[in-house]
Amino acid sequence: MKGRVGEASFEAAMSTEAELTLTAGEASEPRGPRMVVDLRGREEMCGASPVNFAIRALKELPLGGELEVLTGVREQTFTLVQWARKNGYEVCELEESGREARIRFRRRAAKAAGL
């Protein structure tokens, strides 16, 4: 499965069973489209979890770039928020509805992240 973000293609290295959706979100700021990773309804595979897919997408963000993640269980939300906090990302928005959540992350600029 390939999603396209602007001109860049992003290949989801997951099986069809654990296929994840990566789409261009609506631009909320002039800096361009935001990537969206949808983990809802996705299952762990042996040694590969949906959360890792989101973390990989976060690591590939440029400084100042944003990523929106839709989670399906609170464990995913907890993990991603905690991971972001420890790794120089800002949690700009967190909207929870039952077990699901929409989280908007921004990769801090090097100075702000203390790098």
What is the side-by-side order of every strand in the sheet holding 100-107? 21-25, 34-38, 66-71, 100-107, 89-97
- Secondary structure element (H or E) that encloses residue 74, with its range: helix 74-86
Which CB atom, from 28 or from 82, has the smaller least distance to another protein?
A: 82
What residues numbered 43-102 form the site for another protein, per CB under 8 A? Answer: 43-49, 51-52, 55, 73-75, 78-79, 82-83, 86, 99
Which CB atom, from 18 or from 61, has the smaller least distance to another protein?
A: 18
- Contact between 72 and 56 under an 8 Å Cβ cutoff? The reply is no
By CB under 8 A, the count of residues binding another protein is: 25
Part of the chain binding another protein (CB under 8 A), chosen from 2-10, 37-45, 58-66, 105-113: 37-45
What residues numbered 2-21 form the site for another protein, per CB under 8 A? Answer: 13-18
Measured at the alpha carbon of residue 54, what is the angle toward residues 70 and 49, in degrees to the nearest 5? Answer: 100
- Contact between 76 and 40 under an 8 Å Cβ cutoff? The reply is no
> What are the residues binding another protein (CB under 8 A)?
13-18, 43-49, 51-52, 55, 73-75, 78-79, 82-83, 86, 99
